[in-house]
């Protein structure tokens, strides 16, 4: 019951399809250590299983919300409200089709990562 009520009080997130994203915006979205970590963690989870609060990143709630909005606005993730939780999936296929190889670069383990 509480879950159903919770859903009604939130504005559904707006999405941008990767096809509508300029390459500059896609690069800028991924060129951030927190967003890169979110994308990497998300890639290791089944779609719609990770809520926004379940990621291990060293930022506050407002900053985290901003990072998710950037990922959504550049076609990297899709979000859905399930009761009080907002859950996520990586738009891997669509993003790969638009930017071949880019996600692979970000997701491959990099010994030079700091």
Q: How far is the CB of 22 from a second copy (least distance, A)?
A: 4
- Complex with a second copy: residue 22 or 53, whichever CB lies closer: 22
- Complex with a second copy: residue 86 or 99, whichever CB lies closer: 99
The alpha helices in the chain, defined as continuous H runs, are 2-8, 23-30, 33-43, 61-73, 92-98, 102-107
Q: How far is the CB of 27 from a second copy (least distance, A)?
A: 4
Q: Which residues would be at the binding site for a second copy (CB under 8 A)?
A: 20-24, 27-28, 30-33, 36, 99-102, 104-106, 108, 110, 112-114
Q: How far is the CB of 30 from a second copy (least distance, A)?
A: 5
Residue 42: C-alpha distances to residues 3, 4, 47, 94, 100 (Å): 24, 25, 8, 15, 19
Largest CA distance in the chain: 48
- Complex with a second copy: residue 46 or 56, whichever CB lies closer: 56
> What is the spatial distance between Cα 60 and Cα 102, in angstroms, rounded to a whole number?
28
């Amino acid at each position: 019951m509480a879950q159903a009520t919770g859903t009604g009080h939130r504005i559904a997130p707006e999405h941008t399809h990767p096809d509508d994203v300029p390459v500059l915006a896609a690069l800028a979205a991924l060129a951030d250590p927190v967003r890169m970590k979110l994308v990497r963690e998300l890639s290791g989870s089944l779609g719609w299983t990770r809520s926004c609060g379940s990621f291990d990143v060293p930022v506050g709630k407002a900053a985290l919300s901003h990072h998710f909005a950037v990922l959504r606005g550049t076609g990297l993730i899709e979000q859905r409200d399930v009761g009080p939780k907002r859950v996520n999936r990586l738009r891997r296929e669509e993003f790969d089709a638009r930017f071949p190889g880019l996600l692979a670069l970000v997701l491959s383990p990099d010994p030079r990562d700091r």
